[in-house]
């Protein structure tokens, strides 16, 4: 074997393993069924799509949604990070998928979301195609913005005229 053929052989060995690993993380075609709680009532929903999710997951229970002060007034946050809603969701299931979900990671939970002091919005969850549960406020799926570097940043406010910081009552804070 020559030295020139070694890199090629290594590539031919590693490339299929990399493709296999990438495929194992993709559940695009799965159908998921989940039960969500809203106002004491339980609803079961089934969903299927080719959605990918970048998430901020809580381990072992529901994530906390709190109120914080910002330059926009009182806003919803989780773990100190600003929460946003996406107008095309129109208060329904998440429509932010693929590259969108890379920039706008969904707030997901493994249990019922917990409302902190001052949160007036009804919090619940909605199933995502990847089997996770996305936290909602008044039916609006909640997201983080990858462009927010520190707690209290609101850099995603008004982007594209469709992304807005969420007020404690679950409505969009529209500064346009």
Interval 34-58: pLDDT, tens? 333 333 333 223 223 333 333 334 3
Domain membership flag for residue 48: yes
Mean pLDDT over 100-121 rounds to 97
- Give yes or no for a contact between 86 and 104, defined as CB atoms under 8 angstroms apart: yes
Spatial separation of the C-alpha atoms in residues 51 and 148, rounded to whole Å: 23
> Is pLDDT of 15 > 60?
no
Mean pLDDT over 62-76 rounds to 96
> Is pLDDT of 27 > 90?
no
Spatial separation of the C-alpha atoms in residues 68 and 159, rounded to whole Å: 21
Residue range of the domain that includes 140? 5-165
Domain membership flag for residue 175: no
Spatial separation of the C-alpha atoms in residues 162 and 156, rounded to whole Å: 10
Domain membership flag for residue 174: no
Number of domains in the chain: 1
pTM: predicted TM-score of the whole model, two decimal places: 0.67
Domain membership flag for residue 155: yes
**What does DSSP assign to residue 131?**
S
Number of helical (H) and strand (E) elements in the chain, helices listed first: 2, 13
Domain membership flag for residue 123: yes
**Residue 34, pLDDT score:** 33
> Is pLDDT of 90 > 80?
yes
**Residue 91, pLDDT score:** 84
Domain membership flag for residue 171: no
- CB-based contacts of 115, cutoff 8 Å, min separation 6: 65, 121, 123
Q: Name beta bridge partners: 124.
A: 136
> Is pLDDT of 146 > 90?
yes
**Residue 60, pLDDT score:** 52
Mean pLDDT, the chain, whole residue set? 75
């Amino acid at each position: 074997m020559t030295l020139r053929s070694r890199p090629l052989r290594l590539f031919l060995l590693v490339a299929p393993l990399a493709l296999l690993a990438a495929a194992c993380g993709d559940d695009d075609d799965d159908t998921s069924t989940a039960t969500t709680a809203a106002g004491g009532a339980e609803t079961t929903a089934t969903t299927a799509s080719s959605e990918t999710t970048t998430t901020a997951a809580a381990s072992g229970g529901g994530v906390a949604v709190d109120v914080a002060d910002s330059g926009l007034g009182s806003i919803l946050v989780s773990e100190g990070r600003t929460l946003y809603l996406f107008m095309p969701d129109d208060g329904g299931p998440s429509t932010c998928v693929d590259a969108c979900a890379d920039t706008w990671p969904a707030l997901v939970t493994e249990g019922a979301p917990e409302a902190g002091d001052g949160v007036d919005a009804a919090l619940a969850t909605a199933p995502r195609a990847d089997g996770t549960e996305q936290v909602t406020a008044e039916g609006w799926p909640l997201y983080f913005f990858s462009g927010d570097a520190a707690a209290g940043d609101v850099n995603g406010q008004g982007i594209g005229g469709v992304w807005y910081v969420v007020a404690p009552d679950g409505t969009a804070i529209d500064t346009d």
